[in-house]
Structure 1
Amino acid sequence: MKLKYVLPIAFIALFFSCSTDDDDNTTIVNEVEGLELIQTIVNGNETIELYNEKGLFETGYNMISLRIKDNTTDSYIEDATLSWMPMMQMPTMEHSSPKSTISKAIGKDTVYEGFIIYQMINTDGSGWSLTLNYTIDGTDYSLTETISVMQYGNQNTATFMGSDGTNYILALIEPKDPSIAVNEMKVGLFKMENMMTFPVVEDYTIALDPRMPGMGNHTSPNNTDLTYNNADNFYYGDLSLTMTGYWKLNLKLMNTDDDVLKGEDVTDENEASSLYLELEF
């Protein structure tokens, strides 16, 4: 007669045991998975961590992720407001570079992100500093730290004066992993308004003529010129790569009136444009 009471009690005990085990099975999410740490900067009670896919700063377009750690609680801040100012110190002057605002990374609680385009370097990586301003719980903080910026590989950015007397910065963003195919090409175009301000240039056209100098300077089919995208303020076009190796991406920059501001057509007499970017894969 007692058996009928034993079975329900055993079932209830098993149910609560399973429920407790499930509740304790908490997955810890690594919000910087797939990124490499570039540098940490300690500012009193906070440590700022800088990340990207390569773990270094280099010429051209750098997408950067940031986290702020509270050193007292060993936890990351979820509700900070951040801004930054990169600076290049030269012998007789200093200047900044194109940069984005910093915003919370989509789907992340503790990660903030934005981009900086470093348009020049010293051969030893010196010269650049980064000022970070941030606000936590209504209190403002600021710090400045030296950083190293190097050039690796081919030319991924171009700084030049156009025929209109304006200084421009052009930076290659995509393709990051080129392949034998028609690749989406994405670039950023900015102008130097003054030493500290580099607004986006809108609604220009960038003509594209990719060539392989080591292979008779042949081109490829199905390329399209780059045009401005209002959604993200970058320029997009089609880049056809028909074989692996070194490619020179010859370019011409034209304003809204189709005036050529920089660059030339590639012809039998002129093997390359004075405005170009490079790829090798």
Structure 2
Amino acid sequence: MKTLKYILAIFFLSVSFVSCSSEDENPTVEQNPVEGLTMIYEIPAADHTVQIYSEKQNLEVGYNEILIRIKNLASDTYVANAAPNWMPIMHMETMQHSAPHSMLTNTDESTVYKGHIVFQMASNDTEYWEVVFNYSLNGQQKEEALRVAVSLPTDELNKTQVFMGSDDTRYVLAYVNPKDPKVAVNDLQAVLYKMENMMSFPIVENFKITVDPRMPGMGNHSSPNNEDMTYSSATKMYDGKLSLTMTGYWRINLKLLNANGEILKGEDVTEANPESSLYFELEF
């Protein structure tokens, strides 16, 4: 009996050792919710900081996806349920105006909030962009204003259009995806806003944007299997398909149609008219 007890004790110790070794070899790795992003700004306050992240190295004219985190310095933790909102403001020499922007919403990580801003113009020495953040911290409402630099895209390609439609409404159309175009049929996304007044840019729903990609340097040929962009209530964007048959410079000719099918901006591409006045540019 003593021998049996001894064998059982050795067995349980062996199992415990293997279990502990297995846990040590496969420790739980905590995921960084902003991994791969760049913290482009940080707003220091007395008891907390607001951190601003982007996929880009700096903010540019056009569509900018932005994430923010609020760190409580006393507890050294990031804040959930801060209910943040924001307002971009362009301070010009004689006036101020805002920019199209989404709400800030939680990502899968409750302490990370995501949204986008479409900047219509670059900042300079005398005219600058400011983003005003409002949020809740420890039961109190906070407000912080951050002056940001907005530059022209480094590739110098046109991915943002600000224009007056034939309905006398000013629109802002901005390219979103694909970020890394391929020789394939790519998922195409854009956002469309209209200017209600200098500080209000609501989303435009239920319009259509036709898609006609051309290669001006290659006889202005097009490509098969493109799909026009239509509004998605799930993404709050316009989704379509973009067929790219080879690498190089592409001009994505567009037409904007309202819910009644009336053309508000853009023209068909023909031999007599090789390009639309409404377009995006890509080169890859």
**TM norm. shorter chain > 0.5:** yes
Q: Secondary structure at the match of 1:225?
A: strand
Q: State how 1:126-165 maps to structure 2 within 5 Å.
A: 127-152=128-153, 153=155, 154-165=157-168
Partner of 2:224: 221
Residue 125 of structure 2 is aligned to residue 121 of structure 1? no
Please give the per-residue CA displacement for 1:87-121, whole angstroms capped at 9, x wherever unaligned: 11111111111111111102x13211111111211
Residue 70 of structure 2 is aligned to residue 68 of structure 1? yes
Paired residues of 2:223 and 2:245 also in contact (CA < 8 A): yes
Aligned-residue CA RMSD (Å):
2.2
Give the unaligned 5+ runs of structure 1.
Answer: none
Please give the per-residue CA displacement for 1:214-273, whole angstroms capped at 9, x wherever unaligned: 222221122222112222221122211111111111111111222211111122222211
Q: Secondary structure at the match of 2:227?
A: coil
Paired residues of 1:222 and 1:238 also in contact (CA < 8 A): yes
CA separation in 2, counterparts of 1:101 and 1:222?
Answer: 34
Q: Secondary structure at the match of 2:123?
A: coil
**Aligned CA distance change for structure 1 residues 124 and 241 (closer, same or farther; 3 Å):** farther
**Aligned CA distance change for structure 1 residues 222 and 17 (closer, same or farther; 3 Å):** closer
Partner of 1:233: 236
- The aligned amino acid for 2:168 is G
Q: Percent identity?
A: 47
Paired residues of 1:60 and 1:171 also in contact (CA < 8 A): yes
Tell which deviates more after alignment, 15-24 or 264-273.
15-24
CA separation in 2, counterparts of 1:79 and 1:212?
Answer: 48
Quote the offset at 1:139 in angstroms: 0.7
- The aligned amino acid for 2:88 is P
CA separation in 1, counterparts of 2:126 and 2:112?
Answer: 27
Q: Secondary structure at the match of 1:81?
A: coil
Quote the offset at 1:18 in angstroms: 5.8
CA separation in 1, counterparts of 2:191 and 2:130?
Answer: 22
**Aligned CA distance change for structure 1 residues 2 and 257 (closer, same or farther; 3 Å):** closer
Partner of 1:49: 51
CA separation in 2, counterparts of 1:150 and 1:14?
Answer: 63
Partner of 2:265: 262
Q: Secondary structure at the match of 2:172?
A: strand
Partner of 2:191: 188
Quote the offset at 1:29 in angstroms: 2.5
Aligned counterpart in structure 2 of residue 199 of structure 1, from 202, 216, 220? 202
Please give the per-residue CA displacement for 1:143-198, whole angstroms capped at 9, x wherever unaligned: 00111112222111110011111110001111111111111211111000011111
Paired residues of 1:31 and 1:110 also in contact (CA < 8 A): no
Partner of 2:89: 87
Paired residues of 1:81 and 1:136 also in contact (CA < 8 A): no
CA separation in 1, counterparts of 2:200 and 2:160?
Answer: 18
